[in-house]
Structure 1
Amino acid sequence: MNKILCLIPARGNSKRIKNKNIKNLKGHPLIAYTIDVALESKLFHEIVCVTDKSEYKQIAEYYGAKVPRLRPKHTATSKSPDIEWVKWILEILDDKFDAFCILRPTSPLRKKECFLKL
């Protein structure tokens, strides 16, 4: 069985909508929907939220994601490419995964069935 890592990026300093990743949507923070669908899919060996904010860390862990460490500021700017934080977290995890998937919190309506079609 392949070991697939789920990465959920949740930067704290959103430019257009302040704290968008933890905005309330029908009683839950936005990020919770992404964590829930990742857990429900049973596809991922590990679900990791990559964030630079301790408040986001607490919320992500409450909903079942791991947050091994806060993301460095230089990888959390509006101009930081994904590859910077992806390399950083893969080094931190020091575990061998066969693949990884990035699920952004800003797509809360995805269903677990979309993963099963892969």
Structure 2
Amino acid sequence: MNNFLVLIPARAGSQRLPDKNLRNLEGKPLIGYSIEYAKENDFEDIVITSNDPRVLDYAVKRRVQTVERPDALAGDEEPVFTAIQHAVSQLQKQYDAVILLQPTNPLRPKGLLKEAIAIFEQEACDSLMTVSRNEHKLGTISNNRFTPYNYKMGQRSQDLEPLYYENGLLYIFKTELLKEGKLLGEKNYPLIVDHPFAEIDIDTEADFKKAELYMKYFK
């Protein structure tokens, strides 16, 4: 049985949707959904890493541990990896694995986390990520010419070769991977999620409005 840390990264300074981590979604700030999801799954070791004092204050009021992220690790071009690495290094307790919950994915199927943990342990994975099938006909454009990428012209959508995308709902990875400078290991399990919530990843106003609609429809 692994010793898990739930880590929620929530930096300030989003350009496309300002203050999105505190944006009110159906009566609750965006970051509140990831916190509650962790608590609903009986996790007590939950850490928020942020350079936003308001986010840190919100977390403290909900009895969640915080790590103040240096501004140098919170720029637009800074990968989330450095924030995770910094947060884990600041903790006194040692963990076998980290569960990463991003605030931009507030809607998650109820049983998903338990299923992911069970697979992570049964398969002895280095890491696990959630993916969903892409059923679009994709292509490239060069010199105003469209060239099919994953299909042939006239091919039916249902006959496409299965392709998948990272939906961002959750990640699990062994803490030791951080020492190697990565989050996903050689033995990385792609957990397929066939649920409308996998379509929600909030980065723009349109994404936020879509999340509001999904909440009302699937409530």
TM-score by length of 2: 0.50
**Partner of 2:171 in structure 1?**
none
Alignment of 1:24-103 (within 5 A): 24-42=24-42, 44-67=43-66, 69-103=67-101
The answer to whether the 8 Å contact 2:9/2:84 transfers is: no
CA–CA distance in structure 2, aligned partners of residues 64 and 26 of structure 1: 22
Note if contact 2:12-2:51 (Cα within 8 Å) is conserved in structure 1.
yes
Q: State whether residues 34 and 105 of structure 1, in contact with CA within 8 Å, keep that contact through their aligned partners in structure 2.
A: yes
Q: Deviations over 1:14-55 (max 9, x none)?
A: 01011000000111111001100011112x351001000111
Contact 2:11-2:50 within 8 A present in 1 as well: yes
Per chain length, whose mean CA-contact separation is higher, i.e. which structure has more relative contact order (CA < 8 Å, sep 6+)?
1
8 Å contact from structure 1 (residues 9, 105) kept in 2? yes
8 Å CA contact 1:4, 1:45 repeated in 2: no
Superposed CA deviations along residues 47-91 of structure 1, whole A, max 9, x for unmatched, are 001000111101122234211x31001110111112211111111
Of stretches 81-90 and 11-20 in structure 1, the one that deviates more from structure 2 is: 81-90
Q: What stretches of structure 1 move > 4 A for 4+ residues in a row?
A: none
Higher strand share: 2
CA distance in 2, matches of 1:35, 1:64: 10
Q: Report if aligned partners of 2:34, 2:101 keep a CA contact under 8 Å in 1.
A: yes
SS at 1:117's partner residue?
Answer: helix
- The 8 Å contact of residues 51 and 70 in structure 1, kept in 2 or not, is answered as yes
Give the root-mean-square deviation of aligned CA atoms: 1.3
Structure 1: unaligned runs, 5 residues or longer: none
Q: Which 5+ residue runs of structure 2 have no aligned equivalent? A: 117-219
* In 2: Cα distance, 1:107 partner to 1:61 partner: 21
Aligned residue-pair number? 116
